[in-house]
Amino acid sequence: MSARIRVGITVGDPAGIGPEIARKTMTDPRVAAVCEPVLYGPAADEASRFAPGVLSARAGRAAYDAVVRVTADAMAGRIDAVTTGPIHKEAFALAGLEWLGHTELLAHLTGAEEVAMMFYSSRLCVVLITVHVPLAAVPQLLTRRRVEATLALTAAELPRFGIATPRLALAGVNPHAGEGGLLGTEDRDILAPAVAHARECGTDVTGPLPADTVFRQAVDGRFDAVVACYHDQGLIPVKLVSFGEAVNVTLGLPIIRTSVDHGTAFDIAGQGVADPSSLVHAVVLAARLACGRERLSRRAPRVKT
């Protein structure tokens, strides 16, 4: 398999820990066992220009350029999958780039109309409806069409991970999923109708359920994935139970893309102490998805209700 599957690995922001964990990942035996890794980032003679832990427009542009190159190669079939190192959103902004993260940029580069960010781990799988937006903007962005599209995309994509008939849960956006409108009307007026529509279309989805308990139920095996309404609602629980193991997967792209579950860690950049575990997990998952043999071992027996 290693001769057939090629995974492009970007170093992310060259001033962060990305270059270090990328180098460690390239020589990790778990990676060598499943693919041929291909590195994307500044050339060796250019890398020294980026001071560890220093935010800059030049670093943001270098990270962007690597993503553009690796995506072009994936679209052209020169590599089989993409795994991205962590970028810094402020560096992107300093470089004059309009995209707030990989998800938005990759959708633009590939022409994908419907994409979603999923965090996949052996204990918990979470998909986000809204991603890199201020919390105050979430209610306006949480439209019924957007919720329905995310539920449909999640149900369509999870079979690639060995789940033929995914059991989904939708987390409520308000405390106690709104308490019938007493604590906010979005759950009643937007989320509940979206769930009803998804069920009519054949998707096994329950909700909206109170967010303070639904992730626990998923960890216990009742659901295969939780669809969360906003960034921190979904990522706090998945990083609590699976930090370092969780893999960021972009659903809806015409290419395979995985990534780490952490940021650039400027505070330890250049010290040689960064843990490459998340990047290793991301590359291995990308390779297995590319060869079409990924099968989940995380699924617990169905819980009787």
Let me know: does 184 contact 150? Beta carbons within 8 Å: no
Per residue in 263-280, pLDDT (tens digit) is: 999 999 999 999 999 999
Both 152 and 221 in a single domain?
Answer: yes
Both 164 and 266 in a single domain?
Answer: no
Average pLDDT of the segment spanning 211-236 = 98
Closest to 13 measured CA to CA, from 70, 87, 96: 87
Both 238 and 123 in a single domain?
Answer: yes
Per residue in 280-301, pLDDT (tens digit) is: 999 999 999 998 855 444 443 3
- The Cα–Cα gap between 167 and 159 comes to 11
pLDDT of residue 4: 80
Which CATH number do you get for residue 187?
Answer: 3.40.718.10
Beta strand 6-10 with 125-128 is unpaired
Both 148 and 49 in a single domain?
Answer: no
What percent of the chain has pLDDT above 90? 90
Residue that is last in its domain, among 232, 250, 268: 250
257 beta partners: 82
Both 103 and 195 in a single domain?
Answer: no
Both 52 and 137 in a single domain?
Answer: no
Is the overall model pTM greater than 0.75, yes or no?
yes
CA angle at 108 for the pair 42 and 128, rounded to the nearest 5°: 100
Average pLDDT of the segment spanning 62-85 = 98
- The Cα–Cα gap between 50 and 205 comes to 47
- The Cα–Cα gap between 219 and 224 comes to 9
Q: Token pair for residue 303?
A: 């819980």
Per-residue confidence band for 3, with pLDDT thresholds at 50, 70 and 90: low
Both 137 and 229 in a single domain?
Answer: yes
Closest to 195 measured CA to CA, from 155, 253, 139: 155
Mean pLDDT across the chain, nearest whole number?
Answer: 93
HSE toward the beta carbon, residue 46, CA cutoff 13 A: 11
Closest to 37 measured CA to CA, from 70, 5, 78, 66: 5
Q: Token pair for residue 305?
A: 């209700």
The domain in which residue 125 lies consists of 115-250
Residue environment code for 250-288, b if the CB has 16+ CB neighbours within 10 A, otherwise e: bbbbebbbbbbbbebbbebbbeeebebbbbbbbbbbbbb
Both 67 and 122 in a single domain?
Answer: no
Both 163 and 185 in a single domain?
Answer: yes
Q: Is 242 exposed, middle or buried (0-12, 13-18, 19+ CB in 10 A)?
A: buried
pLDDT at 140 over 90: yes
Both 131 and 231 in a single domain?
Answer: yes
Amino acid at the residue 149: A
Residue that is last in its domain, among 250, 270, 293: 250
Helix, strand, coil proportions of the chain in percent (round to 5)?
Answer: 45, 15, 40
- Order of strands across the sheet that contains 257-259: 36-40, 6-10, 81-84, 257-259, 247-251, 116-120, 125-128, 225-228, 167-171, 204-209
Residue that is last in its domain, among 250, 267, 294: 250
The number of domains in the chain is 2
Average pLDDT of the segment spanning 78-99 = 97
pLDDT at 243 over 70: yes
Both 216 and 288 in a single domain?
Answer: no
Both 104 and 119 in a single domain?
Answer: no
